[in-house]
Each structure stands twice: as C-alpha cells, then as structure tokens.
Amino acid sequence: MHVFRAHQPNHFDLPERIQRLGELAYNLWWTWTPSAEDLFSHIDPTAWDQSRYNPILFLRGVSKHRLEAAAQNLDYVDLYDRLCSAFDIYMAARDTWFKRNYPDFENQPIAYFSTEFGLHETLPMYAGGLGILAGDHLKEASDLGIPLVAMGFIYTQGYFFQHISEDGWQESRRVTLKFEDLPVMPLLDEDGQPMTVTLDLPGRTLSARLWEIHVGRLPLYLLDSNVDANNEADRALTARLYSADMDLRISQEMLLGIGGVRALRMLSYNPVVWHMNEGHSAFLGLEQARELVQAGKSLDVAVEKIKAQNVFTTHTPVPAGNDEFPLWLVDRYFSGFWSELGLDQEGFIDLAGRENPNGQPTFSLPVLALRFSGQANGVSELHGQVARKMWSFLWPGVKEEDVRISYITNGVHTNTWLARRMGSLYTKYLGKDWRDHLDDQDMWERVLEIPDEELWRVRRHLKRRMVAFIRERARGHWMYEGVHPVQVIASGVMLDPYALTIGFARRFATYKRANLILRDLDRLMDLLKRPNRPVQIIFAGKAHPSDEPGKMLIQDVYRAVKKAENGGRLVFLEDYDIHLARYLVQGVDVWLNTPRRPMEASGTSGQKAAINGAINFSILDGWWREGYNGKNGWVIGAENEYASSEEQDREDAESLYDILENQVIPLYYDDRTPNQASSAWLAMAKESIRSMAPKFSARRMLKEYVQKMYLPAIEQKVKA
C-alpha cells in the first residue's frame, strides 16, 4: 500500500513565538473564524491588502522586521495564543454535533463530488452559486464534525477575470495560477513523487496528480492533469471550468467521476455515502459498478448496492441546462469500458440514454445519476416539484408526486457571509454562544430586542464601508488601467453612502433577467432621482465566456449605466467574486432578484443579504418562495403561468416598479429624521433576520442532508 502525505510547499521563516502562523495559513479555518484574519492583517495591514488576503503570499513577503514586532507585541501574541488554542480545540473535534448524535458513524467517510468549490477569493475554483454552495457545504460539514471528504478539480487558470470594455462588452482575462502561492498542498508518495491516478481515454492514458486543501477538519482533494506524462492537450484538460468543447467536457467529467473514485481508493478511503453535487460527477457510478462487476457481482446486484450508497443533488430546472453527450461521443470514450461491466454498446447506452428535448438521442448524466442513486433531491421546495415533473418519465407508472426526488433548500454558511459588526451585535443581543445555535429559531427571536439605533449604526457603517471599497477600486481603474472617464463613473466612483442602495449581483444568465428593472428606463430614473430620496442600484456579475446572450445582457445593463443623465445612480462592478459579494450582501439595503420563474432552483445570495440586515425584493422563486412571510421583504409579480415570457417580463416589471415606488422607497424615507432610520424599515430588517437566519443557514441544511440523505445510506451499509 502506498503512503501519501500532503506536503506544505512553503516553509516560512517565522519568529519562534508565532511559528504556527504557517500552519494556520494552510487551513481555510481562518477564513470563517471571527478575528482570525487579524492574525495576518495586524502584522502589516498594507502588505495584507496587497497580498489580496492571501496568507501564503503574505507570510512569504512580509518583512522580517514586522514579524519580529508582532512577536514582541503583547496584544498580538495574546490574540495569537487565543486563536491557536481555538484552532486546536476545533481540530481535535472532541465535541461535535455529529459525534454527539451519531458516535457509531464517526469514522464512516462520506464522499462529496463537485466540479466547483467556492471557498475563498484566493481560490478561483468556482463560477457561481453551485460552487459557493459546495464551499459552504464543506465548511458547515466541518463545523458539525461530519466526516466528509471532498473531490474536485484545481483549475490551472481558475475562472476568468472580467473586464468590461467601454462599449459594455465583457472581456475575459486569464492568468495561470501558481499553486505554490495558494493554500494548496501536493500529495506526494514516500519517494516525494506526486501521487497520480490514471484513466483510459481514446488512444491514450490520462494521468492526473492530486492536491489537497484543508477545509477546517476536512480534506478537499483536487485533480490536476497538468503533468509531464500527458500530451499538451491533456495537460490543459483541467485548465478551466465548463468548456463548451464536448471532448474536453466528457474527458473532464470522466476524470472527476472515474478518476475521483480511483483517487479515493488510492488514499484508502472506503466511503459509505457518495454524494454527487449536480450530474457532472455521475460517471462515478460507472466506476463503482466496474469495481463490483470485476469483483464477481452481476451488474444488477452491483447497481442495487451502489444505489444504497449514492446521493444525488440536482440543481438544474431547465432540461437544456442538463449535461448530456451525443451517442457517438459516448461510443468513442466508453467502448473500452462497457465490456468491463459485462455490457455491449446497447446495454451501456440504456443505462442513461434518452431522447433529449430537441428529439436527439443522448447519454444524460442526470439520468445516470438518478439511476445510480437511492436518494435524490432538488434544492428548494418548488425546484423539487419541477425536478419530479422533469424526470418523472424515468419512472413510468409512478405518479409525479411519488417520484423519489425530494428537496433540501439551500442555506448559507453564516460565519462566512456575516459582517463582523453584525456578528458583534448578535453576540451582544443573542448571547455569547450564539454561533453554536445558528439554526435555533428561539435564539433568533432575540433579534427583535436589538435597539433601532444600534442596528442602524451598524447598517450605516456597512454601507459606507462598501461604498469606500467600491470607490477605491474605481480609483484604481482610473489610475492604472487607462480607462475612459465614463467607465470610472460606471464603476461606482459617484456612489452615495447615504442613498437607498439596491444590489443585484449574480451570474449573468438570461433567465436571471438583470435588465428587468431597466425595462422602462425613464420610469426607473424618475424614481431614482427624486429630490431628497436618492436611490442607487449596483449591478455585478459575469457571463460564461461562451454565453453570447449573457454577454449581451451585460452590455444592455452597461449602456444604461453609462448614460450621463443617469447621474451615476446606476453602477456596474467588474469581476464579481466572493470578495466583492461579501461587501455587497453586507452593505446594500435591498437585495433584488428577478429570475424568470421557476428557473431559479434556489439562489443563495439573498440569504447572505438577509442575515446581514438587508431586505429581499424578489420573484417568488427558489428559496424566496419559502422565505417570504408577508412582512420580511417584498415580492415581485405573481405565481402565475404565463403564455409567453414577454408577457411574464412585462407583468413582473410592472409589479417591480409599482412596489419600488409605493412600498420600498417610502418605507426607507418616510418618517425619518436626518440621522435616524425609519423604525418601520428597521422592523422589517429585524423581521427578515429573525425569520430567515436559522432557516436558511447551512447548519439547518447540513443537518437535513445528514438526516434525510446520508443516514439511510450509512445505516444500510453499516448493518450489512
């Protein structure tokens, strides 16, 4: 058996007294632990900003003199000692929710597969909500002591950086990441050689090496095809997320599914549960089947065994958004594989073949995932319904409501997304140990006791902080990037820290309708520019580089933003990522979401905004349909079925303007003295926090995954 170990590529030259900073830098625990960032930033705030919050770069570059000064500073060392001991207690995991409730299953690993993980701004391994959800899933699993091990890709070029040209066209910039600059460790064998898995692709063998990220208590393993043994094209196989190239895509997904299983085996894991986060990793079922058939089981028996241990979460409510491959491509990639399952071509295609909505025969990854899993779920109540309807053809004769796809509504990792100042307020009014009770509704009732002035002070601070951050970025564009003045204004240099501020930030996919609020621009601008009640709107988001309609949507928004007569009240911020998202969800007053119902499976950004005291203003789709209670925000449009999307857009826009004019703006500005907020506004903000913080926490979500999805599988396996 091989012995592998994760190896820290950097040795930092640190003073003895604060030696462990190197270890802390290589565990993402610091990113969600209150005050832990101070361990780096207090040593040298300027260098910390310049490192872009990357502790590896920071520790490598910060001056010796600064480190020595910190090691001599009593306050600093005190903080250091406290955090080291908190880290040790956390890592020892003596008392966790999982251990208390399921002590017998503590050593039963649960494998979690995803193509993206959104964990921190230094790790651009995500494109949007799916990745952020996976990141939050890992962090919360770690906090609860759930024995998860995760598998994904480390992309050598990450996701792209976005630049908007003067005429509003999205340009993407790529950089090649240097893994030694990131909190990522190579897995090496006893001889110091990279650990690799291999996989047969047409005409060649693909190799991939493995890296590891410590996410608190959990390992996240990442596959990387950039190794000498591969040809040039294969070395770039894991360079980017979601290529439109079919060969690249099927190869990537084979590497994740099949290679990922092999990697876990090589690391001596024998997971009791395998969780596929979206269909991209569905090929893992084929590798599991191959293992069992090779061990002498019949395929039918193998599939039954596999189903007992596999869990599948679907995120895509539109048939066209689901991953599928034409049959000729499947022939090319799997003709060597099906005989190992004891199947011929036809039998193999039958595993996941379907006629797609365009009438073409395809091999569908969600079909494969559904056939090879005993538990499946959508990510909100409505999405569960949509998914049951969409996939009911797989269970002929079963009534739609009995199709076995349940739902677990998404939630967010509170400590990742909550502003520090809000955290302090909760400590004061909810109790010192409030972070131990994140999903406890009774505790959150105490939010109503927070005095208006205190909440208002924090909210104002957060908005000013956001505006200052955005203006500094705009200044950077102006000084260093030679952009046109109009782009500087578009990037937020004229933002008003006291105006009612609406945020809209997410992937620019057409169904999300970023331009819905711009449908009648004159009407909108009339609302935004009224005397003494200024309103401003901040847009941000990337379109997938091959999504032309998405890029046109950005252009549409940007054109409105650029108009001088709009007085800088509309803003488009480039390069939406976790870092910017945190400022926005913490700083804006209103979080706007206008998806074309029912296409938003869940959405999570509004949940992040809610825990920070921003108020949601959204279509009754995804999570908001469950979150809205009549007094914790506003609803746009109705739960109707429309004859056309044109009609739907028209009605939704009408409703949006009407509510903005008659409810949102008056609630913010009426009954208000110069330094005081309207107490009706703050009452709604508190109601929003009270009603939603526990329900849409990743804590509630993870407990549900354990109870509904993981435990049935664990119990079957452990008893067997």
Ligand X SMILES: *Cc1c(COP(=O)(O)O)cnc(C)c1O
- The site for ligand X (CB under 6 A) is made up of 128-129, 132, 506, 576-578, 581, 603-605, 608
Measured from the CB atom, the residue of 129 and 186 that comes closer to ligand X is 129
97/109 Cα distance (integer angstroms): 16
Q: Rounded to the nearest whole angstrom, what is the least distance from the CB of residue 321 to ligand X in the complex?
A: 14
Closest separation between CB of residue 22 and ligand X, Å? 28
Q: What is the C-alpha separation between 463 and 519, in angstroms, rounded?
A: 27
CB contact at 8 A, 311 and 273: yes
Q: What would the two tokens of residue 237 be?
A: 């196989």
Residue 164's DSSP bridge partners are 170
With beta carbons less than 8 A apart as the criterion, state whether 506 and 593 touch. Answer: yes
Half-sphere exposure of 546 (CA within 13 A, CB side): 6
**CB of residue 595 vs ligand X: minimum separation in angstroms?**
8
- Closest contact distance (angstroms) between CB of 697 and ligand X is 14
> In the 3-class helix/strand/coil scheme, how is 22-66 assigned residue by residue?
HHHHCEHHHHHCCCCCHHHHCCCHHHHHHCCCCHHHHHHHCCHHH
Q: At what angle do helices 452-480 and 578-587 cross, to 10 degrees?
A: 140
Instruction: For the CB of residue 117, give the shortest distance to ligand X in the complex, in Å.
Output: 12
219/603 with CB nearer ligand X? 603
Q: Give least dist CB 401 to ligand X, A.
A: 27
Residue with tokens 């480390």: 154
Query: Which amino acid is present at 376?
Result: A
- Kindly report the backbone phi and psi dihedral angles of residue 713, in degrees, each rounded to the nearest multiple of 5, phi listed first: -70, -45
Three-class DSSP labels, 65-121: HHHHHHHHCHHHHHHHHHHHHHHHHHHHCCCCHHHHHCHHHCCCCEEEECCCCCCCC
CB of 600 to ligand X, least distance (A): 7
Q: Under DSSP, is residue 635 helix (H, G, I), strand (E, B) or coil?
A: strand
Decide whether 536 or 607 has the Cβ nearer to ligand X.
Answer: 607
Minimum CB separation of residue 242 from ligand X in Å reads 14
- Which one-letter DSSP state was computed for residue 132? H
326: number of Cβ within 10 Å: 15
Neighbours of 235 (CB within 10 A): 18
612: Cβ contacts below 8 Å, ≥ 6 apart: 417, 418, 419, 422, 462, 585, 586
- For residues 370 and 578, which CB has a smaller minimum distance to ligand X in the complex? 578
Which residues, in sequence order, are bridge partners of residue 354?
A: 362
Q: Which is nearer to ligand X, 470 or 581 (CB)?
A: 581
For ligand X, which is the closer residue by CB, 109 or 633?
633
Between 115 and 566, CB nearer to ligand X? 115
Least distance in Å: CB of 386 to ligand X? 16
SS3 601: coil
Cβ nearer to ligand X, comparing 28 with 443: 28
If the CB atoms of residues 371 and 473 are measured against ligand X, the closer one turns out to be 473
Q: Omega before 598 cis (within 30°)? A: yes
Distance separating the N- and C-terminal Cα atoms of the chain:
26
Residue 515 CB neighbours (<10 A): 23
Smallest gap from Cβ 517 to ligand X, in A, equals 15
By beta-carbon proximity to ligand X, the closer residue of 576 and 668 is 576
- Smallest separation (angstroms) from ligand X to the CB of 577: 5
| Contact in structure between 116 and 241 (CB atoms under 8 Å) | yes
Minimum distance from residue 41 beta carbon to ligand X (Å): 21
Phi and psi of 483, rounded to 5°?
-90, 165
Q: Which tokens go with 231?
A: 């040809």
Cα distance between residue 46 and residue 689, in whole Å: 34
Does the CA dihedral 247-252-255-257 come out positive or negative?
Answer: negative
Residue closer to ligand X by CB (options 51, 594) is 594
Q: Output the smallest distance, CB 69 to ligand X, in A.
A: 35
Shortest Å, Cβ 403 to ligand X? 25
Match 């073949």 to its residue by tokens: 353
276 token code pair: 């596929």
Nearer to ligand X, 260 or 317 (CB): 317
**Pairing, β 375-378 against β 310-313:** parallel
Q: How far is the CB of 119 from ligand X (least distance, A)?
A: 11
> Residue 424 in contact with residue 434, Cβ under 8 Å?
no
- If we measure between CA atoms, which residue out of 215, 65, 43 comes closest to residue 146? 215
- Of residues 578 and 610, the one with the C-beta less far from ligand X: 578
Write down the least CB distance from residue 576 to ligand X, Å. 6
Instruction: Provide CB contacts within 8 A for 650, sequence distance 6+.
Output: 519
Task: Report the residue number, 132 or 368, with the smaller CB distance to ligand X.
Answer: 132
**Alpha-carbon gap, residue 550 to 567, rounded angstroms:** 26
Distance of CA 61 to the CA centre of its chain: 30
Q: Return the number of the residue (292 or 581) whose C-beta is nearest ligand X.
A: 581
Decide whether 456 or 576 has the Cβ nearer to ligand X: 576
Q: Among residues 129 and 183, whose Cβ is nearest to ligand X?
A: 129
Distance (Å) of CA 226 to CA 189, 231, 243, 283, 642: 18, 9, 16, 21, 49
CB of 219 to ligand X, least distance (A): 23
CA distance 139 to 423: 18
Instruction: Record the tokens describing residue 314, joined without a space.
Output: 């679907």
